[in-house]
Chains A and B, each alone.
Chain A
Amino acid sequence: MPDQIPMVEYLVLGDEPHLEANECTACGARFFDRRNACASCSGREFTKVPIPTEGEVRAFTIVSPFIPGTDPYVPAVVDCGGTSVRANIVNTPPDPEHVTLGMKVKLTTFSIGADTTGTEAINYGFEPID
């Protein structure tokens, strides 16, 4: 198996891939990016917390291809147990018959390709729970 790296730092790979947020130890606000301080309370201490891997689609859109030869994609906001996550909905046709508000989804990971050293970058998305 080739070496892998997560496409973004807050994606944790391994046997049970999941997302990890920076949680403010003072107020509990959660963030996925590198922090200088908390946007909610200006606190400066954070702890890493795992985010549930199942959730519900709270908003989505279907972006039409604007680069010829590429596919539509489905950006969405997924509510994972009270923490909102940004991702694409994957592994289902990109149309409003197959992607619906309130749909239950789960995290999935997939390769977006390898660099010259053979290291694969791994992205995440959410797919429908049957």
Chain B
Amino acid sequence: MSEMILDLGEDAKEYGRQALRAFEAAGGDQLVQQAEAKPDTRDALVGAVLNELGAWELDARTDADGLEAAAALCRSAGYWALPYPVAERLACPVDLDVDGLIVVADNQQAGAIGGLELRWAAVTSDGVRSDVVGRGVSGPAFVTALKLSETDRNGAGDVALGLVLPCWTLLGMLDRAVELTIAHITLRKQFGQPLSAFQGVQFQLTDAEVERSGLEILAKYALWSAGAGKPEALEDALALRMSAIEAAEVVFRVCHQLHGAVGFCDETTLSWLSRYSQPIRRLPLGLSATRDLLTRRVGRDGLTGLYA
């Protein structure tokens, strides 16, 4: 993958569409609700469909096509709020005998892996790698505290992809949230006309779309940067993560507002997407901490661009 990508290849996009259909057939929006009721069924609920899709045969670390397919799969998983850490598993380092990788903060180690019996590695932004040797009680959206045992300090090259792929999952969530919102405002009538006829509603929708489309293009850039092994791949990943969290704030704020009260209800998909977007937005670092780390890392050099 040498040339910067403005769009995923056709094969990856087709794979993403296949995954969307497969997740729908496997239960679609019901999956996350079923998993929440019984977290230890997460693997049973979606393990088979992920196997059928060949998810764990994708080589996101060393194969450019595999990397694009992995990104497309994460996006499709996000679309259905799939109750499974697809991105974390696809980010698995090649040199460790584990099932997946969780990027963690120095001062707080947690991951959305409650209810799953898998072998995990963790890595900090400085490349310190650990085995996950214990975990706490599973909280909202399967988040659990992790107990770590340091193994080595060779994980610097693992971090960028570990940050980028979850942003693709979040992108899929935003795709869906916007789609659901368009459907809602087209259907719902007030004052004798659909909400979509009100310019105040239309303009809010564009706020969401500008953020969503901006995240999409940065996600492609950071994917390319990580895949090409650019020296600045981690900074690119952090820039993506910062934008992803900001985009999620805007998109979910708009989508909740335009859904009105029904958007909070368990019977409405938006409410599930919204609450299950939280772990990705919060872990390993929230918005301020992500921006702070990015600022410290780029120093006075800034991001690679036209004039730097």
Do A and B pair up? The answer is no
